[in-house]
A and B are shown apart, each in its own frame.
Chain A
Amino acid sequence: MTGAAARQTLRAVRVDARSLAAAGILVAGWEFLPRRGLLNPAYFPPASQVVAALAEGLSAGELLPHVAATVSRLLVAFFLAALPGLGVGVAMGLSGTVRRVADPYVALLYPIPKVALLPLMLILFGVGERAFVLTGALTAFFQIVVNTMDGIRQVDPTLVEVGRNYGATRFRLFWKVVLPAALPGILTGLRLGLGLTLVTVVAVEFAIAKSGLGHVVWGSWQTLTTPRMYAAFVAVGLLGLLLTRGLKRLQDRLLAWQTSVDVW
Protein backbone atom coordinates (compact mmCIF):
# COMPACT_ATOMS: atom_id res chain seq x y z
CA MET A 1 0.00 0.00 0.00
CA THR A 2 1.38 3.43 -0.86
CA GLY A 3 1.63 6.14 1.79
CA ALA A 4 -1.20 8.11 0.22
CA ALA A 5 -3.44 5.05 0.01
CA ALA A 6 -2.69 4.22 3.64
CA ARG A 7 -3.60 7.72 4.72
CA GLN A 8 -6.79 7.49 2.73
CA THR A 9 -7.74 4.21 4.39
CA LEU A 10 -7.06 5.69 7.80
CA ARG A 11 -9.25 8.65 7.00
CA ALA A 12 -12.01 6.34 5.86
CA VAL A 13 -12.06 4.56 9.23
CA ARG A 14 -11.41 7.91 10.92
CA VAL A 15 -8.28 6.91 12.74
CA ASP A 16 -5.51 9.46 12.87
CA ALA A 17 -2.05 8.11 12.05
CA ARG A 18 -0.74 9.72 15.24
CA SER A 19 -3.29 7.83 17.37
CA LEU A 20 -2.35 4.61 15.57
CA ALA A 21 1.37 5.21 16.19
CA ALA A 22 0.77 5.83 19.90
CA ALA A 23 -1.24 2.61 20.15
CA GLY A 24 1.50 0.76 18.26
CA ILE A 25 4.17 1.92 20.70
CA LEU A 26 2.05 0.81 23.66
CA VAL A 27 1.43 -2.64 22.18
CA ALA A 28 5.08 -3.05 21.22
CA GLY A 29 6.20 -2.14 24.74
CA TRP A 30 3.61 -4.46 26.21
CA GLU A 31 4.94 -7.27 24.03
CA PHE A 32 8.69 -6.84 24.49
CA LEU A 33 9.11 -5.65 28.08
CA PRO A 34 7.67 -8.92 29.55
CA ARG A 35 9.51 -11.01 26.94
CA ARG A 36 12.86 -9.41 27.83
CA GLY A 37 12.08 -10.00 31.50
CA LEU A 38 11.91 -6.28 32.21
CA LEU A 39 8.36 -6.82 33.48
CA ASN A 40 7.29 -9.97 35.30
CA PRO A 41 5.25 -11.96 32.72
CA ALA A 42 3.23 -13.55 35.51
CA TYR A 43 1.72 -10.15 36.26
CA PHE A 44 2.15 -8.56 32.86
CA PRO A 45 1.69 -11.23 30.20
CA PRO A 46 2.90 -10.07 26.75
CA ALA A 47 0.33 -8.51 24.45
CA SER A 48 0.31 -11.49 22.10
CA GLN A 49 -0.80 -13.80 24.95
CA VAL A 50 -3.57 -11.39 25.91
CA VAL A 51 -4.73 -11.13 22.32
CA ALA A 52 -4.61 -14.91 22.04
CA ALA A 53 -6.66 -15.25 25.22
CA LEU A 54 -9.14 -12.70 23.92
CA ALA A 55 -9.38 -14.40 20.52
CA GLU A 56 -9.75 -17.80 22.07
CA GLY A 57 -12.34 -16.55 24.55
CA LEU A 58 -14.35 -14.97 21.78
CA SER A 59 -14.05 -17.83 19.27
CA ALA A 60 -14.58 -20.58 21.80
CA GLY A 61 -17.61 -18.63 22.92
CA GLU A 62 -16.43 -18.56 26.50
CA LEU A 63 -16.10 -14.76 26.72
CA LEU A 64 -18.96 -13.93 24.41
CA PRO A 65 -21.81 -14.45 26.90
CA HIS A 66 -19.94 -12.20 29.32
CA VAL A 67 -19.53 -9.48 26.71
CA ALA A 68 -23.22 -9.81 25.90
CA ALA A 69 -24.17 -9.62 29.58
CA THR A 70 -22.17 -6.43 30.09
CA VAL A 71 -23.42 -4.81 26.90
CA SER A 72 -27.06 -5.58 27.60
CA ARG A 73 -26.84 -4.31 31.19
CA LEU A 74 -25.12 -1.18 29.93
CA LEU A 75 -27.65 -0.46 27.22
CA VAL A 76 -30.70 -1.19 29.37
CA ALA A 77 -29.29 1.00 32.16
CA PHE A 78 -28.48 3.79 29.73
CA PHE A 79 -31.86 3.85 28.01
CA LEU A 80 -33.71 3.56 31.31
CA ALA A 81 -31.83 6.65 32.45
CA ALA A 82 -31.75 8.71 29.27
CA LEU A 83 -35.40 9.65 28.92
CA PRO A 84 -36.09 10.63 32.54
CA GLY A 85 -32.64 12.21 32.77
CA LEU A 86 -33.30 14.41 29.74
CA GLY A 87 -36.77 15.26 31.03
CA VAL A 88 -35.63 16.26 34.51
CA GLY A 89 -32.58 18.09 33.14
CA VAL A 90 -34.71 20.09 30.69
CA ALA A 91 -37.27 20.94 33.38
CA MET A 92 -34.52 22.06 35.77
CA GLY A 93 -32.86 24.07 33.02
CA LEU A 94 -36.03 25.87 31.97
CA SER A 95 -37.80 26.49 35.25
CA GLY A 96 -36.31 28.24 38.24
CA THR A 97 -38.95 26.69 40.46
CA VAL A 98 -38.21 23.13 39.40
CA ARG A 99 -34.52 23.84 39.74
CA ARG A 100 -34.84 25.19 43.26
CA VAL A 101 -36.95 22.24 44.32
CA ALA A 102 -34.78 19.55 42.71
CA ASP A 103 -31.34 21.05 43.10
CA PRO A 104 -30.65 19.92 46.69
CA TYR A 105 -31.38 16.32 45.75
CA VAL A 106 -29.32 16.39 42.59
CA ALA A 107 -26.44 18.22 44.29
CA LEU A 108 -26.48 15.64 47.08
CA LEU A 109 -26.83 12.50 44.98
CA TYR A 110 -24.78 13.40 41.91
CA PRO A 111 -21.34 13.07 43.54
CA ILE A 112 -22.08 9.73 45.22
CA PRO A 113 -20.40 6.92 43.27
CA LYS A 114 -23.47 4.93 42.34
CA VAL A 115 -21.71 1.60 43.02
CA ALA A 116 -21.95 2.65 46.65
CA LEU A 117 -25.73 2.45 46.28
CA LEU A 118 -25.53 -1.20 45.18
CA PRO A 119 -26.19 -2.58 48.67
CA LEU A 120 -29.30 -0.42 48.90
CA MET A 121 -30.45 -1.68 45.50
CA LEU A 122 -29.80 -5.25 46.62
CA ILE A 123 -31.93 -4.71 49.70
CA LEU A 124 -34.71 -3.14 47.65
CA PHE A 125 -34.69 -5.48 44.66
CA GLY A 126 -32.80 -8.58 45.76
CA VAL A 127 -29.67 -9.95 44.12
CA GLY A 128 -30.43 -9.90 40.43
CA GLU A 129 -30.46 -8.02 37.16
CA ARG A 130 -32.89 -5.39 38.39
CA ALA A 131 -30.51 -4.23 41.11
CA PHE A 132 -27.48 -4.31 38.76
CA VAL A 133 -29.16 -2.40 35.99
CA LEU A 134 -30.72 0.21 38.26
CA THR A 135 -27.37 0.94 39.86
CA GLY A 136 -25.96 1.57 36.40
CA ALA A 137 -29.01 3.63 35.41
CA LEU A 138 -28.57 5.92 38.41
CA THR A 139 -25.06 6.76 37.22
CA ALA A 140 -26.27 7.73 33.77
CA PHE A 141 -29.34 9.51 35.12
CA PHE A 142 -27.53 12.03 37.28
CA GLN A 143 -24.85 12.68 34.68
CA ILE A 144 -27.48 13.34 32.04
CA VAL A 145 -29.55 15.54 34.38
CA VAL A 146 -26.58 17.69 35.33
CA ASN A 147 -25.25 18.19 31.80
CA THR A 148 -28.67 18.77 30.28
CA MET A 149 -29.54 21.36 32.92
CA ASP A 150 -26.21 23.15 32.48
CA GLY A 151 -26.52 22.99 28.71
CA ILE A 152 -29.87 24.75 28.85
CA ARG A 153 -28.80 27.25 31.48
CA GLN A 154 -25.82 28.23 29.37
CA VAL A 155 -27.84 29.07 26.29
CA ASP A 156 -26.94 32.59 25.16
CA PRO A 157 -29.81 34.80 26.45
CA THR A 158 -29.51 36.90 23.31
CA LEU A 159 -30.59 33.90 21.24
CA VAL A 160 -33.67 33.59 23.43
CA GLU A 161 -34.36 37.27 22.78
CA VAL A 162 -34.01 36.57 19.06
CA GLY A 163 -36.62 33.84 19.37
CA ARG A 164 -39.03 36.06 21.24
CA ASN A 165 -38.51 39.13 19.09
CA TYR A 166 -38.94 37.08 15.92
CA GLY A 167 -42.27 35.72 17.02
CA ALA A 168 -41.46 32.20 18.22
CA THR A 169 -44.18 30.67 20.36
CA ARG A 170 -43.07 29.09 23.63
CA PHE A 171 -43.15 25.72 21.93
CA ARG A 172 -40.97 26.87 19.04
CA LEU A 173 -38.72 28.84 21.38
CA PHE A 174 -37.92 25.55 23.07
CA TRP A 175 -37.64 23.29 20.01
CA LYS A 176 -36.09 25.74 17.58
CA VAL A 177 -33.86 27.86 19.80
CA VAL A 178 -33.18 26.53 23.29
CA LEU A 179 -32.81 22.85 22.48
CA PRO A 180 -30.46 23.21 19.48
CA ALA A 181 -28.39 25.74 21.42
CA ALA A 182 -28.15 23.35 24.39
CA LEU A 183 -27.45 20.29 22.24
CA PRO A 184 -23.66 20.31 22.68
CA GLY A 185 -24.04 20.11 26.46
CA ILE A 186 -26.80 17.53 26.24
CA LEU A 187 -24.83 15.23 23.96
CA THR A 188 -21.79 15.54 26.20
CA GLY A 189 -23.98 14.44 29.10
CA LEU A 190 -25.16 11.40 27.16
CA ARG A 191 -21.61 10.47 26.22
CA LEU A 192 -20.30 10.85 29.77
CA GLY A 193 -23.35 9.05 31.09
CA LEU A 194 -22.73 6.09 28.83
CA GLY A 195 -19.03 5.91 29.70
CA LEU A 196 -19.56 6.19 33.45
CA THR A 197 -22.37 3.66 33.34
CA LEU A 198 -19.95 1.17 31.81
CA VAL A 199 -17.67 1.81 34.80
CA THR A 200 -20.52 1.20 37.22
CA VAL A 201 -21.78 -1.91 35.46
CA VAL A 202 -18.32 -3.49 35.43
CA ALA A 203 -17.86 -2.62 39.10
CA VAL A 204 -21.22 -4.18 39.96
CA GLU A 205 -20.27 -7.32 38.04
CA PHE A 206 -16.97 -7.32 39.84
CA ALA A 207 -18.69 -7.17 43.18
CA ILE A 208 -21.57 -9.54 42.84
CA ALA A 209 -22.81 -10.60 39.41
CA LYS A 210 -22.13 -14.12 38.15
CA SER A 211 -21.61 -12.97 34.58
CA GLY A 212 -20.19 -10.07 32.63
CA LEU A 213 -16.68 -8.80 31.95
CA GLY A 214 -16.29 -7.50 35.51
CA HIS A 215 -17.01 -10.99 36.76
CA VAL A 216 -14.38 -12.42 34.38
CA VAL A 217 -11.77 -10.04 35.80
CA TRP A 218 -12.60 -11.11 39.35
CA GLY A 219 -12.65 -14.81 38.49
CA SER A 220 -9.34 -14.61 36.63
CA TRP A 221 -7.69 -13.00 39.62
CA GLN A 222 -8.83 -15.79 41.87
CA THR A 223 -7.45 -18.45 39.50
CA LEU A 224 -4.41 -16.33 38.56
CA THR A 225 -5.11 -16.65 34.84
CA THR A 226 -3.71 -13.21 34.11
CA PRO A 227 -3.97 -13.34 30.30
CA ARG A 228 -7.72 -13.90 30.65
CA MET A 229 -7.96 -11.01 33.11
CA TYR A 230 -6.19 -8.70 30.66
CA ALA A 231 -8.36 -10.00 27.86
CA ALA A 232 -11.39 -8.85 29.87
CA PHE A 233 -9.74 -5.47 30.52
CA VAL A 234 -9.08 -5.04 26.84
CA ALA A 235 -12.65 -6.07 26.02
CA VAL A 236 -14.03 -3.46 28.44
CA GLY A 237 -11.71 -0.84 27.02
CA LEU A 238 -12.68 -1.63 23.44
CA LEU A 239 -16.33 -1.60 24.38
CA GLY A 240 -15.99 1.84 25.94
CA LEU A 241 -14.02 3.09 22.96
CA LEU A 242 -16.59 1.79 20.52
CA LEU A 243 -19.57 3.26 22.33
CA THR A 244 -18.17 6.68 23.09
CA ARG A 245 -16.67 6.88 19.60
CA GLY A 246 -20.07 6.11 18.16
CA LEU A 247 -21.71 8.83 20.21
CA LYS A 248 -18.88 11.25 19.42
CA ARG A 249 -19.51 10.64 15.75
CA LEU A 250 -23.19 11.29 16.17
CA GLN A 251 -22.27 14.45 18.07
CA ASP A 252 -19.93 15.61 15.30
CA ARG A 253 -22.60 14.99 12.72
CA LEU A 254 -25.30 16.86 14.67
CA LEU A 255 -22.97 19.69 15.61
CA ALA A 256 -21.29 20.23 12.25
CA TRP A 257 -22.09 23.94 12.68
CA GLN A 258 -19.66 24.19 15.58
CA THR A 259 -16.02 25.06 15.19
CA SER A 260 -13.25 23.77 17.38
CA VAL A 261 -9.51 24.20 17.31
CA ASP A 262 -6.43 22.31 18.41
CA VAL A 263 -4.77 24.85 20.69
CA TRP A 264 -1.37 23.26 20.12
Chain B
Amino acid sequence: MAERAGGTLPTARVRAEATEAKVVVRGLSVRYTSSRGTLTALEDISLSVQAGEFCCVVGPSGCGKSTLLRVLAGLIPCAEGEVRIRSDGPQRPLTAMVFQDYALLPWRTVLDNVAFGPENRGVPRAERYRLAREILAKVGLSGFEHAYPHQLSGGMKQRVGIARALANDPEVLLMDEPLAALDAQTRNLMQEELLRIWAEFGKTVVYVTHAIDEAVLLGDRVVVMTARPGRVKAVVPVDLERPRTLEQKGSAHFARLYNEVWQLLREEVSAASREAGGG
Protein backbone atom coordinates (compact mmCIF):
# COMPACT_ATOMS: atom_id res chain seq x y z
CA MET B 1 0.00 0.00 0.00
CA ALA B 2 1.15 3.49 -0.76
CA GLU B 3 2.46 5.42 2.16
CA ARG B 4 1.71 9.08 2.08
CA ALA B 5 3.37 11.97 3.76
CA GLY B 6 1.11 13.29 6.48
CA GLY B 7 -0.42 16.54 5.32
CA THR B 8 -2.40 19.15 7.09
CA LEU B 9 -5.97 19.63 5.97
CA PRO B 10 -8.37 17.04 4.71
CA THR B 11 -11.12 18.13 2.38
CA ALA B 12 -13.39 20.24 4.51
CA ARG B 13 -17.09 19.59 4.86
CA VAL B 14 -18.93 22.84 5.21
CA ARG B 15 -22.57 23.62 5.85
CA ALA B 16 -24.90 24.61 3.07
CA GLU B 17 -25.14 28.31 3.76
CA ALA B 18 -21.42 28.77 4.22
CA THR B 19 -20.69 28.94 0.53
CA GLU B 20 -22.52 29.46 -2.71
CA ALA B 21 -20.84 26.87 -4.91
CA LYS B 22 -20.92 23.13 -4.32
CA VAL B 23 -17.18 22.73 -4.69
CA VAL B 24 -14.66 25.47 -4.00
CA VAL B 25 -10.97 25.00 -4.66
CA ARG B 26 -8.77 27.94 -3.80
CA GLY B 27 -5.01 28.23 -4.27
CA LEU B 28 -4.51 24.46 -4.22
CA SER B 29 -0.98 23.20 -4.78
CA VAL B 30 0.11 19.59 -4.45
CA ARG B 31 3.66 18.33 -4.33
CA TYR B 32 4.82 14.75 -4.30
CA THR B 33 7.99 14.09 -2.38
CA SER B 34 9.96 10.98 -3.17
CA SER B 35 13.58 9.87 -2.98
CA ARG B 36 14.17 11.52 -6.37
CA GLY B 37 13.06 14.90 -5.14
CA THR B 38 9.95 17.01 -5.10
CA LEU B 39 7.51 17.08 -7.99
CA THR B 40 4.90 19.80 -8.22
CA ALA B 41 1.79 18.13 -9.60
CA LEU B 42 -0.68 21.00 -9.16
CA GLU B 43 0.06 24.67 -8.72
CA ASP B 44 -2.34 27.30 -7.47
CA ILE B 45 -5.54 25.73 -8.73
CA SER B 46 -8.70 27.72 -8.17
CA LEU B 47 -12.01 26.43 -9.34
CA SER B 48 -15.62 26.34 -8.28
CA VAL B 49 -18.36 24.00 -9.37
CA GLN B 50 -22.04 24.83 -8.97
CA ALA B 51 -24.55 22.38 -7.55
CA GLY B 52 -25.88 20.10 -10.29
CA GLU B 53 -23.15 21.16 -12.71
CA PHE B 54 -21.33 18.73 -14.98
CA CYS B 55 -17.78 20.07 -14.93
CA CYS B 56 -15.23 18.50 -17.27
CA VAL B 57 -11.48 18.75 -16.82
CA VAL B 58 -9.11 18.15 -19.71
CA GLY B 59 -5.34 18.38 -19.83
CA PRO B 60 -2.29 16.56 -21.13
CA SER B 61 -1.45 13.34 -19.40
CA GLY B 62 0.61 13.79 -16.27
CA CYS B 63 -0.72 17.30 -15.65
CA GLY B 64 -2.32 16.35 -12.37
CA LYS B 65 -5.95 15.60 -13.24
CA SER B 66 -6.06 12.44 -11.14
CA THR B 67 -4.26 14.27 -8.39
CA LEU B 68 -6.96 16.94 -8.38
CA LEU B 69 -9.68 14.30 -8.07
CA ARG B 70 -7.76 12.54 -5.28
CA VAL B 71 -7.62 15.77 -3.31
CA LEU B 72 -11.36 16.30 -3.84
CA ALA B 73 -11.93 12.70 -2.73
CA GLY B 74 -9.98 13.32 0.46
CA LEU B 75 -7.44 10.67 -0.50
CA ILE B 76 -4.57 13.17 -0.56
CA PRO B 77 -4.54 15.82 2.15
CA CYS B 78 -4.70 19.35 0.92
CA ALA B 79 -1.43 20.77 2.21
CA GLU B 80 -1.52 24.14 0.49
CA GLY B 81 -4.68 26.01 -0.34
CA GLU B 82 -8.25 25.16 0.43
CA VAL B 83 -10.82 22.65 -0.75
CA ARG B 84 -14.41 22.88 0.41
CA ILE B 85 -17.38 20.78 -0.50
CA ARG B 86 -20.81 21.95 0.50
CA SER B 87 -22.73 19.34 2.41
CA ASP B 88 -26.50 19.39 1.87
CA GLY B 89 -27.28 16.14 3.67
CA PRO B 90 -25.46 15.59 6.95
CA GLN B 91 -25.23 11.82 6.48
CA ARG B 92 -24.17 11.88 2.87
CA PRO B 93 -20.58 11.15 1.94
CA LEU B 94 -18.85 14.09 0.29
CA THR B 95 -17.58 12.23 -2.75
CA ALA B 96 -17.65 8.95 -4.60
CA MET B 97 -15.08 8.20 -7.25
CA VAL B 98 -15.45 6.29 -10.50
CA PHE B 99 -12.05 4.96 -11.57
CA GLN B 100 -10.59 4.55 -15.05
CA ASP B 101 -9.77 0.86 -14.62
CA TYR B 102 -13.09 0.24 -12.81
CA ALA B 103 -11.40 -0.82 -9.55
CA LEU B 104 -14.20 -3.23 -8.68
CA LEU B 105 -13.61 -5.63 -5.83
CA PRO B 106 -13.16 -8.83 -7.86
CA TRP B 107 -14.17 -11.18 -5.05
CA ARG B 108 -17.55 -9.49 -4.65
CA THR B 109 -20.59 -9.97 -6.82
CA VAL B 110 -21.98 -7.03 -8.75
CA LEU B 111 -24.62 -6.57 -6.06
CA ASP B 112 -22.10 -6.56 -3.23
CA ASN B 113 -19.84 -4.17 -5.12
CA VAL B 114 -22.66 -1.70 -5.55
CA ALA B 115 -23.71 -2.09 -1.91
CA PHE B 116 -20.15 -1.51 -0.68
CA GLY B 117 -20.53 2.17 0.30
CA PRO B 118 -23.82 1.77 2.21
CA GLU B 119 -22.41 -1.38 3.84
CA ASN B 120 -19.48 0.64 5.15
CA ARG B 121 -21.88 3.16 6.59
CA GLY B 122 -23.81 0.45 8.41
CA VAL B 123 -26.96 0.41 6.25
CA PRO B 124 -28.79 -2.88 7.03
CA ARG B 125 -28.46 -5.66 4.49
CA ALA B 126 -32.02 -5.68 3.16
CA GLU B 127 -32.05 -1.93 2.74
CA ARG B 128 -28.68 -1.69 0.98
CA TYR B 129 -29.55 -4.55 -1.38
CA ARG B 130 -32.84 -2.93 -2.24
CA LEU B 131 -30.98 0.28 -3.02
CA ALA B 132 -28.31 -1.53 -5.02
CA ARG B 133 -30.90 -3.40 -7.11
CA GLU B 134 -32.77 -0.20 -7.80
CA ILE B 135 -29.63 1.54 -9.04
CA LEU B 136 -28.45 -1.48 -11.03
CA ALA B 137 -31.78 -1.38 -12.84
CA LYS B 138 -31.27 2.29 -13.64
CA VAL B 139 -27.85 1.66 -15.18
CA GLY B 140 -29.21 -1.27 -17.19
CA LEU B 141 -27.65 -4.12 -15.24
CA SER B 142 -30.71 -5.96 -13.95
CA GLY B 143 -30.08 -9.69 -14.06
CA PHE B 144 -26.35 -9.36 -13.40
CA GLU B 145 -26.61 -8.93 -9.62
CA HIS B 146 -24.88 -12.21 -8.88
CA ALA B 147 -22.24 -12.08 -11.60
CA TYR B 148 -18.60 -11.50 -10.69
CA PRO B 149 -16.65 -8.65 -12.31
CA HIS B 150 -14.47 -11.01 -14.37
CA GLN B 151 -17.59 -12.25 -16.11
CA LEU B 152 -18.50 -8.79 -17.42
CA SER B 153 -17.39 -6.75 -20.43
CA GLY B 154 -15.54 -3.47 -19.92
CA GLY B 155 -18.64 -1.38 -20.50
CA MET B 156 -20.63 -3.42 -18.00
CA LYS B 157 -17.85 -3.20 -15.43
CA GLN B 158 -17.90 0.55 -15.68
CA ARG B 159 -21.67 0.57 -15.28
CA VAL B 160 -21.05 -1.28 -12.02
CA GLY B 161 -18.46 1.34 -11.09
CA ILE B 162 -20.98 4.09 -11.77
CA ALA B 163 -23.74 2.26 -9.89
CA ARG B 164 -21.43 1.82 -6.91
CA ALA B 165 -20.77 5.55 -6.86
CA LEU B 166 -24.47 6.43 -7.21
CA ALA B 167 -25.43 3.97 -4.45
CA ASN B 168 -23.18 5.91 -2.13
CA ASP B 169 -25.28 9.01 -2.89
CA PRO B 170 -22.38 11.45 -2.67
CA GLU B 171 -22.57 15.23 -2.65
CA VAL B 172 -20.20 15.24 -5.62
CA LEU B 173 -19.53 12.51 -8.15
CA LEU B 174 -15.88 12.29 -9.24
CA MET B 175 -15.03 10.50 -12.45
CA ASP B 176 -11.45 9.84 -13.54
CA GLU B 177 -11.37 9.03 -17.26
CA PRO B 178 -14.16 6.50 -16.74
CA LEU B 179 -14.50 5.59 -20.42
CA ALA B 180 -10.82 5.66 -21.40
CA ALA B 181 -10.40 1.90 -21.29
CA LEU B 182 -13.39 1.19 -23.55
CA ASP B 183 -13.51 0.70 -27.32
CA ALA B 184 -14.88 3.54 -29.44
CA GLN B 185 -18.39 2.15 -29.96
CA THR B 186 -18.87 1.26 -26.32
CA ARG B 187 -17.54 4.69 -25.38
CA ASN B 188 -20.19 6.37 -27.53
CA LEU B 189 -22.91 4.26 -25.95
CA MET B 190 -21.64 5.03 -22.48
CA GLN B 191 -21.54 8.76 -23.22
CA GLU B 192 -25.26 8.60 -23.96
CA GLU B 193 -25.77 6.54 -20.82
CA LEU B 194 -23.92 9.12 -18.75
CA LEU B 195 -26.07 11.93 -20.13
CA ARG B 196 -29.20 9.98 -19.24
CA ILE B 197 -27.96 9.00 -15.77
CA TRP B 198 -26.81 12.51 -14.98
CA ALA B 199 -30.19 13.92 -16.03
CA GLU B 200 -31.93 11.36 -13.83
CA PHE B 201 -29.79 11.73 -10.70
CA GLY B 202 -28.96 15.42 -11.00
CA LYS B 203 -25.54 15.01 -9.41
CA THR B 204 -22.77 17.53 -9.28
CA VAL B 205 -20.02 15.93 -11.35
CA VAL B 206 -16.32 16.60 -11.76
CA TYR B 207 -15.33 14.61 -14.81
CA VAL B 208 -11.76 14.12 -15.95
CA THR B 209 -11.12 13.02 -19.52
CA HIS B 210 -8.50 13.40 -22.21
CA ALA B 211 -11.11 13.18 -24.96
CA ILE B 212 -12.15 16.66 -26.06
CA ASP B 213 -15.34 15.49 -27.80
CA GLU B 214 -16.42 13.76 -24.61
CA ALA B 215 -15.75 16.85 -22.52
CA VAL B 216 -17.74 19.07 -24.90
CA LEU B 217 -20.61 16.61 -25.23
CA LEU B 218 -21.02 16.03 -21.50
CA GLY B 219 -19.91 19.19 -19.78
CA ASP B 220 -21.52 22.46 -18.81
CA ARG B 221 -17.99 23.83 -18.72
CA VAL B 222 -14.63 22.48 -19.80
CA VAL B 223 -11.67 23.33 -17.59
CA VAL B 224 -8.43 23.21 -19.59
CA MET B 225 -5.28 22.54 -17.61
CA THR B 226 -1.67 23.32 -18.48
CA ALA B 227 1.13 20.78 -18.74
CA ARG B 228 2.79 19.92 -15.44
CA PRO B 229 2.73 21.59 -13.01
CA GLY B 230 -1.01 21.67 -13.62
CA ARG B 231 -2.70 25.06 -13.53
CA VAL B 232 -6.07 26.15 -14.81
CA LYS B 233 -5.36 27.57 -18.27
CA ALA B 234 -8.90 28.43 -19.31
CA VAL B 235 -12.50 27.57 -18.65
CA VAL B 236 -14.70 27.10 -21.72
CA PRO B 237 -18.46 27.31 -21.15
CA VAL B 238 -20.41 24.83 -23.27
CA ASP B 239 -23.71 26.32 -24.37
CA LEU B 240 -25.01 23.33 -26.33
CA GLU B 241 -28.66 22.84 -25.52
CA ARG B 242 -29.82 20.05 -23.24
CA PRO B 243 -30.92 17.32 -23.24
CA ARG B 244 -27.90 16.44 -25.33
CA THR B 245 -27.57 13.60 -27.79
CA LEU B 246 -24.69 12.04 -29.70
CA GLU B 247 -26.05 13.67 -32.87
CA GLN B 248 -24.92 17.05 -31.59
CA LYS B 249 -21.34 15.95 -32.22
CA GLY B 250 -22.03 16.59 -35.90
CA SER B 251 -23.16 20.20 -35.48
CA ALA B 252 -21.13 23.27 -36.44
CA HIS B 253 -21.55 24.64 -32.94
CA PHE B 254 -20.01 21.48 -31.50
CA ALA B 255 -17.09 21.73 -33.94
CA ARG B 256 -16.45 25.35 -32.90
CA LEU B 257 -16.33 24.39 -29.21
CA TYR B 258 -14.16 21.38 -29.96
CA ASN B 259 -11.72 23.60 -31.81
CA GLU B 260 -11.65 26.20 -29.10
CA VAL B 261 -10.68 23.57 -26.52
CA TRP B 262 -8.20 21.94 -28.88
CA GLN B 263 -6.44 25.24 -29.59
CA LEU B 264 -6.04 25.80 -25.86
CA LEU B 265 -4.85 22.28 -25.32
CA ARG B 266 -2.51 21.66 -28.23
CA GLU B 267 0.52 23.61 -27.00
CA GLU B 268 0.13 22.05 -23.57
CA VAL B 269 0.02 18.58 -25.07
CA SER B 270 3.14 19.23 -27.11
CA ALA B 271 4.86 20.73 -24.07
CA ALA B 272 3.99 17.61 -22.10
CA SER B 273 5.22 15.25 -24.82
CA ARG B 274 8.43 17.27 -25.27
CA GLU B 275 9.09 16.86 -21.58
CA ALA B 276 8.29 13.16 -21.68
CA GLY B 277 10.49 12.70 -24.76
CA GLY B 278 13.42 14.69 -23.36
CA GLY B 279 13.24 12.83 -20.07
A contacts, CB < 8 Å to B:
94, 96, 152-153, 155-162, 164-169, 172, 176-178, 180-181, 183, 255-259
A161 to B98, CA, bound (A): 11
Q: Is the CB of B105 within 8 A of A159?
A: yes
Chain B nearest Cβ from A95, distance in angstroms: 10
**Residues of chain B from 144 to 174 with CB closer than 8 A to chain A in the complex:** 148-150, 164, 168
Q: Which of B38-46, B82-90, B113-121, B265-273 contacts A (4 or more CB under 8 A)?
A: B113-121
Looking at chain A's contact residues, is the secondary structure mostly helix, strand, loop, or mixed? helix
Q: Which of B70, B93, B107, B108 sits near A167, CB closer than 8 Å?
A: B93
Q: Is the CB of A166 within 8 A of B116?
A: yes
Given contacts A155-B1, A161-B103, A166-B117, 15 further A-B contacts (CB under 8 A): A94-B1, A152-B1, A156-B103, A158-B101, A160-B1, A164-B74, A165-B74, A165-B75, A166-B168, A167-B120, A169-B120, A180-B107, A256-B148, A257-B107, A258-B106
CB-CB nearest in chain B for A164? B75
Q: Which of A152, A161, A256 sits near B97, CB closer than 8 Å?
A: A161
CB-CB nearest in chain B for A184? B107
Question: How many chain-B residues does the 8 Å CB contact rule pick out?
Answer: 27
Chain B nearest Cβ from A165, distance in angstroms: 5
CB-CB nearest in chain A for B2? A157
Q: Which of A152, A159, A160, A168 sits near B120, CB closer than 8 Å?
A: A168
Q: Which residues of A contact B96 (CB under 8 A)?
A: 165-166
**Residues of chain B from 50 to 96 with CB closer than 8 A to chain A in the complex:** 70, 73-75, 93, 95-96
**Which of B1, B3, B108, B149 has the most C-beta atoms of chain A within 10 angstroms of its own C-beta?**
B1
Q: Which residues of B contact A178 (CB under 8 A)?
A: 1
Q: Which residues of A contact B74 (CB under 8 A)?
A: 164-165
Chain B nearest Cβ from A201, distance in angstroms: 33
Q: Is the CB of B95 within 8 A of A162?
A: no
Q: Which residues of A contact B106 (CB under 8 A)?
A: 257-258
CB-CB nearest in chain A for B76? A161
Can you report 18 A-B residue pairs in the complex whose CB atoms are below 8 A from each other?
Answer: A94-B1, A96-B3, A152-B1, A157-B2, A159-B105, A160-B2, A161-B70, A161-B99, A161-B103, A165-B73, A165-B75, A166-B116, A166-B117, A167-B93, A167-B120, A257-B149, A257-B150, A258-B150
A166 to B163, CA, bound (A): 13
Chain A nearest Cβ from B70, distance in angstroms: 8
Q: Which residues of B contact A183 (CB under 8 A)?
A: 107
Q: Which residues of A contact B70 (CB under 8 A)?
A: 161
Q: Is the CB of B103 within 8 A of A162?
A: yes
A152 to B106, CA, bound (A): 16
Q: Is the CB of A167 within 8 A of B103?
A: no
Q: Is the CB of A172 within 8 A of B97?
A: no
Q: Is the CB of A166 within 8 A of B103?
A: no
CB-CB nearest in chain A for B168? A166
Q: Which residues of A contact B3 (CB under 8 A)?
A: 96
**Top 7 nearest A-B pairs by Cβ distance?**
A167-B120, A166-B117, A257-B107, A158-B103, A180-B107, A168-B120, A157-B2
A86 to B121, CA, bound (A): 29
Given A158-B101, A166-B164 in contact, is the A172-B75 Cβ separation under 8 Å? no
